[in-house]
Structure 1
Amino acid sequence: MRRMARVINKGYLLGDRYRIVDTLGEGGMANVYLADDIILKRQVAVKIIRLDLQKDSQVLARFQREALATSELSHPNIVSVFDVGTDHGLPYMVMEYVKGPDLKDYIRENSPIPLPQVIKIMDQILSAMELAHKHNVIHRDLKPQNILMDEKGNIKIADFGIAVALNQSAITQTNSVLGSVHYMSPEQTRGGMVTKQSDIYSLGIILYEALTGHVPFNGETPVAIALKHAEDDIPSLRKQNKAIPQALENVVLKATAKDPRDRYASVAEMKADLDSSLDPSRAGEAIYRPSHGNNDETKILPALNGKVMQAEKAKEGKAEEPKKRSFWASIKKYKWWWIGSLFPVFAILLFMFLAVDHNNVRVPDVVNMTEKAAKTSLKSSGLAVGAVKRTYSSDVKKGKVISTTPKANSPVDKGKKVNLLVSKGPNLTKVPDVEGLYLSIAKKKLNKLGFKVKSREAPSNEYLPGLIISQSVKAGRKVDASKTTITLVVAVALEDQPKPSSSSSSKKATFKLADLTGKSLEDAQSYAKSKKLNVKVEKDHSDSVDSGDVISTDPAAGSEVSEGDTLTITVSKGAEKKEVKKTFTVDYQAAESSSSSSESSSSSSSSQGNHVRIYIQDDNHSLGNIYRDLYITKDTDFTITFSVTKGDGKIKIVRDDQTVVDETISADDSESGN
């Protein structure tokens, strides 16, 4: 039996399956390696407990908890666990390998990140943590270093409760890592209960860093940083970047409230608030103020020497200066030798900082953003908006960006103009009526317009063989020809009827006609062919039978019929279109001039007039989307046509955030004013 190496070297075959390729990172409790899975032929990340800690019961327990917690969380934004095992007594965990930077490096290299992109990144993180919290899994160590990004920009959260890098500031308690002090909630720094709200606090700090490029609090020691989290207000985002709206800053302020009761009740609530933070309707939002004060007395961390905490408080003028220690005693107490290991890191960071051309920025990826959002993103990145051109696109929705020039992620000088190509939506083509045409002619006509054509045969006595009986897409509809296939049903003759022999009886055999109601025309024709019936097709509107299905037959179902009889099939053309036209009047409301109402006037009206938004619901519109958005400076009439074939319609008119019309529209309504 091979013996376990004291060091996991390149080429080592772990568990007879995972061949070590390289070291990805070294942590306080575990190391992570890049390995080849020789069975499934893929690269994986393998986390292995450090050799010197393999007999530590607390470390083993944490490792097992992480493996169990992560394996239960199946989410596209959480690193997947593929395998858990031991190699000669050494526990290991095999995980998805994410090729790309962690969020810390991404922020450092791309700051300032456009606001819509920050929200896109945070949405993925929040979605993953929403699932974790539903499973009652609290991460406890959320920070950008534990959030990975693949080459396509997809987020993957890792390290649920173990392995903190040696070069990160961390507070320890009996040698167990509690988390990076830069992202820890006040209750964590006091050694209190860690809850879902503790994770939300860390998420707020991550959002702050993504928006500014740096953490809110720094200090000479971890304890100094912890004190700031417990006692200092979060530095203003808007003072650092005026492009950040108050609503977005409020998300950070609420998430990082000192008292957990003032934070979001759930990650889902935080995500919903964040997703609407760039909405123009929240532009005038007031700054968030917590309802609970920070009256809790600062507690000494259980894992820290009380005199160290007292020294930190003395720097803030909050306690007496402790007795001075001798030089050698200080060396022994703080184990300052580890500081030397940070010098190479500081040197590299300094070199990177000096090497960066701070007049250069990268073009943000605004593809699939609305034109307005794309312009905002470009301006917030220090770029100017150039020419805006529009073209048809079958892949990108109308009003959204197809591409930019220069392309996304291209390095350019600040202030450079970026041109936008915006979609006009698909180039819709009206479907022609080809019923009654010969197949060759119909096919040629449809192909010329860009449609793909399929055909199938059906017996018919109504149409001559070779003529089109029906088409799968109704004539007159406007569709994207490049993505539409039209199936044509082509008539073929019924088989010739056998002549009765002279010796046979002149009386034909009869049978009961089946119920064809609700069947497709093709099914009905097939039935008629099998029973040797002649078919005649008629069409009519129906509110209850789908287009192309049978409404009724003549003779009716159950009637006695014979071979050679004619069966008339009435086929649905769908519901008859019903339209209701109504006129609504919205009164103009002038802004009040008195000082007592000036504040409310400014919020409800502007120099442009009253802000009117109209929402309608009918066959073609949803009440959740704005139908019209405009300003009025006088009493204004709005005439609106509703399509109410499928049921009642609705209308809601909002003037300066106040609903002035809220009605249900039925097909029986007539023209009227309101």
Structure 2
Amino acid sequence: MIDKGYLLGERYRILDTLGEGGMANVYLAEDIILQRKVAVKVLRLDLQKESQILARFQREALATSELSHPNIVSVLDVGTDHGLPYMVMEYVDGPDLKDYIRENSPLDLHEVIRIMDQILSAVALAHKHNVIHRDLKPQNILMDKRGNIKIADFGIAVALNQSSITQTNSVMGSVHYMSPEQTRGGLVTKQSDIYSVGIILYELITGKVPFNGDTPVSIALKHVQEEIPSIREKDPEVPQALENVVLKATAKDPRDRYESAQEMKNDLDTSLDKNRGDEPVFIPDHGVNNDKTIILPAFNSVKKDDGNDDPPENPKPPADPDPQENPKKGSFLATLKKHKWWWIFVGIVAILIVCMMVFALDAKNSANKAAQGTVRIPDVTNLTEESAENRLEKSGLELGKIHHRNSDSIDAGRVINTKPNSGNSITRGKSVDLIISNGAGMAKVPDVTGQTYEAAVDKLQDMGFDVVRENQISNTVSPDHVIDQSIAADVEVKPKQTTITLIVSKGQPPKPKPNMIKLKNLKNYSLKGAQDYAKENGLTLQISEKYSQNVEKGMIMAMSPNPGTKVEKGSTITISVSKGEKEKNTETNITKNFTVDYAPPKTLKEDTDNHNEKELDKGNHVQIYIKDDDHSLSNIYRDLYIKRDMSFSIPFSLKNGSGELRVVRDGQTILNEKVTK
């Protein structure tokens, strides 16, 4: 296993484990160059030196990259890291088709065709490259968040197709979607994939698979022997043309199926047309099942059924034995037959004889066992190793070797079975091996996104997972519902050893109510008075100065917005301050030009457990102070916020001496210089 955080190939940072297989492990990783999530398949460390497996992995990587299609999970990169081969694949963040059907059934028929068109388009491309998937099922078909289909595990099919392993008589695929020729171990062809696609179409329409059973064998036999259940009997709204697509794709004989996936797609696309409303039910040309029925040897002794339950018209009674051959026997039988219920006596005698023989044989066997010192192996299932050993010793047996294996039904540390099995008789003093449970093996992680936190926890804990909750604000997911899960759905992991973190919605952040302020009339206020008013009410002042013959110097001449206007707290108010009456020919006016650069504000994050973030989004707070004949550095000349670089032109009135300019940005002085004539 590769540790989290490891940088594979100096590019892919391992984030989590998605699954473990017999040949390779699959990890969720981040491409640090393109900054996107990918799935990385890495050959297991213990198989690096296996030349055949290494060659198969390389063939898979090479061949999969040739299947470039928007509805096939694509290979993005292939490489080695310290001699360890890996391939990088597209990561599909969404449910598989099985979960989608389960949560959204019944589907609209147009949606069914949209999904099937994508599946058939991908299968048609694969078949064009002579690639047979062999394991098409909803669990191998992924959906991204936009509803696009992505078929997975094409690489495995290609690798097997290019290897020297003979696929005839080798059963692959999931039995619910397996073609009849696959269940019989026959040759797998493109029509085998079409059969599986037909079963998927049936499930998309009805929400269920056509055949179910207690065992895989019983399901497989139904695929071989039974007709596909009628869809229209369950839902008459389904057009006959659409049901015919299912019937033709799932015909028992491959010769009756579509010749290609493209042909099936073309037929499916017109199945909802009104001009096909009177289409008759599809009937295959080659029958249902041409296999011969094999009679097991155990049934050869059973009386052959000729199909006629009536007795013969003239039954001939068996001839009586000749009493002359055995006078005593003939005399006894003759006498017995004269009795009305003679056949009852014969039956009783026969039963007594059989019972006596059984009793004699049982007594003989018991005597032989006693002579040999044999005992029966006790049943120690579900006992601890220590308790099982004690029970074996009490029965006169010894503890042999200890074997371990996974069990979904027996808790870890308890006995699954004995070897030999319990109930068998063995010689006293012999050893008996114990098979001890390691607990549950690999299990698929369910998709709990969108469920309530309580329901998700119950489901995961029932499977043996530990669950950790992490809250997060969300504008789209209802409060207390699961937004995301740390391990993707359908990844196979060991429940007892796995902790799943659930990201749970806290709902939308509370929207603060705007604090409205009715503006006071600031005319004839002093600049200091206006600044105090702005500070008390959370307002920002923007100050301009003008000469006035009517308003005393330093007093407010005008304001914008007008008095009485309601504004939100934090708004900017522009005021004009009187510079007094302008003196003629005694004043020197100097304009100072400068630029204030915009510095993006930092984001302040509070405690991550609360997931409450405050972002300073107003911009830079800029305050300008000037000193000239009309202004003092103790008063703010201009107070504003900027979100870009801004140029300023500040006029200075200097009769005598020099002035001064100071600029403060977000509390730090960035400009402080003298201004002279």
- Higher Cα Rg, which structure: 2
Q: TM class by shorter-chain length?
A: 0.3 to 0.5
Q: TM-score, normalised by structure 1?
A: 0.42
